[in-house]
């Protein structure tokens, strides 16, 4: 069985707003969430600003504080975005069995917090280094036993799956913007091929830490072209077009084509070109590519000449996998409502190319279009 | 993008393994066929005082040091990534991967979780925190100590990115982070990419090395590791009544997958076939397996459905078989639910009895060993099986490998947190 995958709901949780409408309004009003970093002293870094999420209300999300600690702020944002997407899609009324409800997500890197482990080491005493026998003999038991879970991407994902009762196919990819788009692609393929009845697809950033910022700077993910680090998450609900027609829901957009490549500028061009070709060719109204950089602009100009490149990194930072998912959610919303995309071309958005790239040279591109 | 016509058959034309039993697929399989254990006293750091002080360590002598002239730079390679490079080179060499397809049509799909920080790094960072989430980064940067590459090695996608770069693979590139299911999911997702026409070949697998302070203490805290054992070699005892937890291990596994049509056209030796793949989430509790094995059953049935086979076709099950009290019981339930009356007559064995648990590598290594067993007509044993557990009442191939011609197998992998994967594998000779 093959059927086109359509987007029936989107959810967004960014520093600009905790849902799609608020984020949309902030983007339309040309607000920016990029501000000086306050969580730590960024003086040693070349980038000292970021777009970070406000603390999330675990109670409001129905999440136990222990779960909240495992999820981290971006994981909580992903859960919030997924719930918004499910509501928008009317998923609760769709009659989808849990076993046929899938989740494909890209999650940012989880860096261990030194404060979780080191105090117990220090308390064990020792000169010239920790007294390991004393640590192993006693103080290591003072460490929160859930601490290891905070380091694992898939555990945060699994908590999201529990809250969404998504028992079907699942995938946790990590951690770049290419993975964010790849998660959407995997969901679209699973829906198209009838392997699942509906799928959550999205991405979440990592938490802004000194370690993450240092890494992103070394990799050139932030800093170049004014891209600041960002936090956030986005999620889409994808369903087969036929099933959506039967339950009389108006889809926002259709997934028309996609492609993935690895390498240099040529690979970027290949990925974009192959995605457009898979979607039947023709122009797009806009290319959404967060923190595209010079290489991205070059590839987009080659493949989609005349289509403006919409890069939201200057206003809400580069949230890696989260950025890609938010871009896709915003594009689907614009297409579905017949609106112009904030920061994009003046007319209604009808066809968009959403692109993500990762530090490892991965490029993933997806075409969203109107539903006939 | 779109799958057209009949789905393509996906075959295996290369494999590679680095494990505590050997630095190649063949040496690992041979040792496992002899029922040898790769578990020893842990030497990668001093664990004196910890309840668990054993592990399945890969012998350094068996893994060639990276050639400094090669790309990627040596400092970017964690221990687990070094294993991956070696296993991938074995698989790619056997398959002549560079001839398998246009590089833009060869995917790289790896299960990997990035490197844990060293204890020294944790302590160094701690010196510059105030305990309330505030860091003195200026002070830390001024100190100019530590390994900046450690931050890069922490990224889960580095292994897939560097492997693709090393072998010039320009197709889709995925890094899968589903813990103990990651290696199997990588093989399964690569299979789907090829079957659906999104790639023509793939290098897939998984790698892991967590036998370090942070990784080991972390799993110790989760109370999942074996703590009561007479000797290292007898500590991993899946399905045995006296099992008491898993034994941490390290390694890598890799396969080269391609279309049957492509392999035949270029005269590649077909080593086996991926017939189907199923995956699921327990969505139950974060630290507990579903008591009725709901997720495991869903994944196993999904693999069979995907293969277009009934349970009658299954002749061997390579179990996840971790040696934990809960997994082995629930997995037994799952096998019974899926295979029905035949469950008691189908051999089921756990490679982890000999290898320990290689976490993100496990599913890939076990897929390779399953394929190798089908090829030579041998079912690997579950060693250390001494005391039957009434709740685990299947044929676990106790202690000795068993000659058995078989053509269809299932290989289970269940990830901590509740992600499940099952591969349906075939001999690939029809």
Q: What is the pTM of this model?
A: 0.96
Which candidate in B52, B180, B422, B424 is catalytic?
A: B180
Look at residue A151 in the predicted model and tell me its pLDDT: 84
* ipTM value > 0.90: yes
Cβ neighbours of residue A102 under 8 Å, at least 6 residues apart? Answer: A166, A168, A169, A170, A187, A190, A195, A196, A198, A199, A200
Q: Which residue of A has its CA nearest to B105?
A: A261
pLDDT top residue among B216 and A225: B216
Q: Which residues contact B5 (CB under 8 A, 6 or more apart)?
A: none
DSSP string, B295-309: HHHHHHHHHHHHHT-
DSSP conformation class of B74: G
Q: Given the residues B207, B320, B422, B424, select the one marked as catalytic.
A: B320
Residues of A in contact with B135 (CB under 8 A): 40-41, 209-210
B197 contact A CB<8A: no
Q: B49 and chain A: CB distance < 8 Å anywhere? A: yes
Please state the rounded mean pLDDT for residues A119-135: 78
- Predicted confidence at residue B213, as pLDDT, reads 84
Q: Given B52, B357, B406, B422, which residue is catalytic? A: B357
**pLDDT averaged per 10 residues in sequence order, chain B, 430 residues:** 68 98 98 98 89 94 67 78 95 97 97 86 73 65 66 89 94 95 98 96 97 87 92 98 97 98 97 98 90 96 97 98 97 98 97 98 98 98 98 98 98 95 94
Within 8 A of B295 by CB-CB distance, chain A residues are: 167
The candidate with the shortest Cα–Cα distance to B352, out of B15, B63, B19, B53, is B19
Q: Is B118 on the interface with A (CB under 8 A)?
A: no
- pLDDT tens readout for residues A16-69: 999 999 999 999 999 999 999 998 888 888 899 999 999 999 999 999 998 998
Chain A residue numbers touching B190 (CB-CB < 8 A): none
pLDDT of residue B46: 86
Hey, is the C-beta of B246 within 8 angstroms of any chain A C-beta? no
Residue B5 in contact with partner chain A when CB distance is under 8 A? no
More confident residue, A139 or B129: A139
Is B180 labeled as catalytic in the residue annotation? yes
Optimal mutation site among A169, A204, A363, interface B, most CBs of chain B within 10 A:
A169
Find which of A39, A70, A133, A158 to mutate to test the B interface (most B CBs within 10 Å of its CB): A158
Beta strands A309-310 and B40-41 are unpaired
Contact A166 B151 (CB under 8 A): no
Q: Which residues, 6+ apart, have CB-to-CB distance to B350 below 8 Å?
A: B238, B239, B318, B319, B320, B321, B322, B323, B382, B396
> Helix (H, G, I), strand (E, B), or coil: what is residue B28?
helix
Give a three-class secondary structure readout of chain A: CCCCEEEEEEEEEECCECCHHHHHHHHHCCCCCCEECCCCCCCCCCCCEEECCCCCCCCCCCCCHHHHHHHHHHHHHHHHHHHHHHHHHCHHHCCCCHHHEEEEEECCCCCCCHHHHHHHHHHCCCCCCCCHHHHHHCHHHHCCCCHHHHHCHHHHHHHHHHHHCCCCCEEEECCCHHHHHHHHHHHHHHHHCCCCCEEEEEEECCCCCHHHHHHHHHHCCCCHHHCCEECCEEEEEEEEHHHHHHCCCCCCEEEEEEEEEECCHHHHHHHHHHHHHHCCCCCCCEEEECCCHHHHHHHHHHHCCCCCEECCHHHHCECCHHHHHHHHHHHHHHHHHCCCCCCCCCCCCCEEEEEEECCCCEEEEEEEECCC
On chain A, the residues whose CB falls within 8 A of the CB of B42 are none
**A189–B140 C-beta distance less than 8 A:** no
CB contact (8 A) between residue A107 and residue B116:
no
Pairing of β B272-281 and β B40-41 = unpaired
Test mutation, A120, A170, A365, chain B, max B CBs within 10 A: A170
Residue of A nearest to B223 (CA): A145
Average pLDDT over residues A206-216: 88
Could you tell me the two tokens for A163?
């809250």
B320 is catalytic: yes
Cβ of residue B363 closer than 8 Å to a chain A Cβ? no
With tokens 């495992």, the residue in question is A70
Contact across the interface for B217 and A360, Cβ inside 8 Å: no
Residue of B nearest to A102 (CA): B280
Residue of chain A whose Cα is closest to the Cα of B48: A133
Read off the tokens for B211: 């036998």
A39-53 pLDDT, tens digit per residue, is 888 888 889 999 999
Token code pair at residue B136 = 């003195």
The 3-state secondary structure of B244-291, one letter per residue: CCECEECEEEEEEEEEHHHHHHHCCCCCEEEEEEEEEECCCCCCCCCC
Residue contacts between A and B (CB atoms, under 8 Å): 267
Instruction: Indicate if the pLDDT at residue A333 is higher than 70.
Output: yes
Put simply, the answer to whether A262 touches B122 (Cβ < 8 Å) is: no
Query: Percent of chain A scored above 90 by pLDDT?
Result: 74
Paired tokens of B90: 């074995």
Residues of A in contact with B294 (CB under 8 A): 167
CB contact under 8 A, B123 and A122: yes
Is the separation of the CB atoms in B368 and B118 below 8 Å? no
CB contact (8 A) between residue B158 and residue A151 = no
* Cα atoms in the 13 Å half-sphere on the side-chain side of B226: 33
User: Does B315 touch chain A if contact means CB atoms closer than 8 Å?
Assistant: no
pLDDT at residue A1 in the model: 47
Chain B nearest C-alpha distance from A32 (Å): 25
Q: What is the pLDDT of residue B62?
A: 67
Q: B406 an active-site residue?
A: no
- Over chain A, what is the mean pLDDT? 92
Q: Is B134 on the interface with A (CB under 8 A)?
A: yes
> What is residue B1's predicted lDDT score, i.e. its pLDDT?
46
Q: Do B155 and A109 touch (CB under 8 A)?
A: yes
> Contacts of residue B276 in chain A, CB cutoff 8 Å?
none
Of B119, B141, B179, the CB nearest to A152: B179
Nearest to A158 among B138, B157, B286 (CB): B286
Q: Do B281 and A168 touch (CB under 8 A)?
A: yes
pLDDT, tens digit (0-9, with 9 covering 90-100), for A335-360: 999 999 999 999 999 999 999 999 88
Measured CA to CA in angstroms, residue B220 lies from A141, B53, B224, B226, B247 at distances of: 10, 10, 7, 9, 10
A contacts of B198 (beta carbons < 8 Å) = 189, 260
Give B54's strand partners. B41
- pLDDT value for B3: 45
3-state class (DSSP) for residue B379: strand
Tell me B349's DSSP state. Answer: E
Task: State whether residue B131 sits within 8 Å of chain A by CB.
Answer: yes
C-alpha span between B259 and B4 (Å, rounded): 14
């Amino acid at each position: 069985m093959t059927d086109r995958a359509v987007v029936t709901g989107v959810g967004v949780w960014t520093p600009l707003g905790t849902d799609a409408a608020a984020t949309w309004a902030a983007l339309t009003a040309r607000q920016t969430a990029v501000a000086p970093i306050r969580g730590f002293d960024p003086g040693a870094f070349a980038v000292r600003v970021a777009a970070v999420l406000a603390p999330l209300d675990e109670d409001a999300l129905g999440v136990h504080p222990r779960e909240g600690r495992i999820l981290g702020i971006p994981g909580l944002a992903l859960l919030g975005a997924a719930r918004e997407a499910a509501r928008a899609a009317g998923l609760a009324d769709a009659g989808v069995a849990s076993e046929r409800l899938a989740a494909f997500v890209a999650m940012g890197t989880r860096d261990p917090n030194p404060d979780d482990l080191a105090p117990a080491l220090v308390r064990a005493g020792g000169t010239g280094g920790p007294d390991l026998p004393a640590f192993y003999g006693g103080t290591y038991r003072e460490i929160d036993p859930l601490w290891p879970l905070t380091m694992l991407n898939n555990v945060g994902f699994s908590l999201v799956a529990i809250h969404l009762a998504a028992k079907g196919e699942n995938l946790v990819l990590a951690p770049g913007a290419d993975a964010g788009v790849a998660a959407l692609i995997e969901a679209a393929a699973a829906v198209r091929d009838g392997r699942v009845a509906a799928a959550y697809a999205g991405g979440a950033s990592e938490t802004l830490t000194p370690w993450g910022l240092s890494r992103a700077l070394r990799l050139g993910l932030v800093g170049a072209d004014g891209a600041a680090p960002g936090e956030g998450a986005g999620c889409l609900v994808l369903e087969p077009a036929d099933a959506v027609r039967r339950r009389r829901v108006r889809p926002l957009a259709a997934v028309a084509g996609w492609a993935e490549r690895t390498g240099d500028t040529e690979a970027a061009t290949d990925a974009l070109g192959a995605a457009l070709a898979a979607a039947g060719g023709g122009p797009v109204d806009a290319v959404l590519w967060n923190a595209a950089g010079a290489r991205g602009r070059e590839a987009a100009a080659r493949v989609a000449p005349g289509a403006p490149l919409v890069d939201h990194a200057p206003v809400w930072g580069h949230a890696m996998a989260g950025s890609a998912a938010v871009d896709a959610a915003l594009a689907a919303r614009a297409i579905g409502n017949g609106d112009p995309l904030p920061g994009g071309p003046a007319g209604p958005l009808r066809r968009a190319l959403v692109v993500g790239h990762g530090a490892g040279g991965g490029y993933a591109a997806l075409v969203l279009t109107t539903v006939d | 993008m779109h799958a057209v016509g009949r789905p393509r058959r996906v075959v295996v034309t290369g494999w590679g393994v680095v494990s505590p039993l050997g630095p190649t697929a063949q040496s690992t399989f041979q040792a496992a066929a002899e029922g040898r254990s790769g578990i020893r006293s842990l030497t990668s750091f001093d664990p004196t005082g910890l309840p668990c002080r054993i592990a399945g360590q890969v012998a350094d002598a068996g893994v060639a040091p990276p050639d400094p002239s090669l790309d990627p730079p040596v400092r970017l390679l964690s221990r687990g990534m070094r294993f991956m490079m070696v296993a991938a080179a074995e698989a790619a060499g056997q398959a002549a991967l560079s001839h398998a397809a246009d590089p833009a049509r060869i995917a790289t799909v790896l299960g990997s979780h990035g490197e844990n920080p060293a204890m020294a790094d944790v302590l160094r960072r701690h010196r510059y925190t105030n305990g309330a989430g505030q860091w003195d980064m200026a002070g830390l940067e001024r100190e100019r100590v530590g390994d900046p590459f450690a931050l890069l090695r922490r990224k889960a996608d580095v292994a897939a990115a560097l492997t693709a770069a090393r072998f010039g693979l320009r197709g889709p590139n995925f890094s899968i982070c589903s813990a103990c299911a990651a290696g199997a999911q990588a093989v399964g997702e690569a299979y789907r990419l090829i079957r659906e026409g999104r790639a023509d070949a793939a290098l897939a697998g998984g790698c892991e090395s967590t036998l370090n302070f942070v990784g080991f203490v972390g799993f110790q805290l989760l109370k999942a590791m074996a703590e009561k054992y007479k000797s290292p070699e007898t500590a991993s005892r899946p399905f045995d009544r006296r099992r008491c937890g898993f034994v941490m291990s390290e390694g890598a596994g890799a396969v080269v997958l391609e279309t049957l049509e492509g392999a035949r056209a270029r005269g590649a030796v077909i080593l086996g076939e991926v017939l189907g793949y199923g995956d699921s989430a327990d969505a139950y509790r974060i630290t507990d397996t579903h008591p009725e094995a709901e997720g495991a059953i869903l994944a196993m049935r999904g693999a069979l459905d995907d293969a277009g086979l009934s349970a009658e076709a299954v002749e061997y099950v390579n179990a996840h078989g971790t040696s934990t009290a809960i997994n082995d019981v629930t997995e037994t339930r799952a096998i019974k639910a899926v295979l029905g009356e035949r469950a008691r007559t189908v051999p089921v064995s756990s490679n982890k009895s000999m290898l320990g648990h290689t976490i993100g590598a496990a599913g890939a290594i076990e897929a390779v060993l399953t394929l190798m067993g089908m090829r030579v007509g041998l079912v690997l044993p579950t060693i250390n099986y001494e005391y039957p557990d009434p709740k685990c009442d299947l044929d676990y191939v106790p202690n000795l490998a068993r000659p058995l011609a078989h053509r269809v197998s299932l290989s289970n992998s269940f990830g901590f947190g509740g992600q499940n994967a099952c591969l349906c594998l075939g001999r690939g000779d029809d």
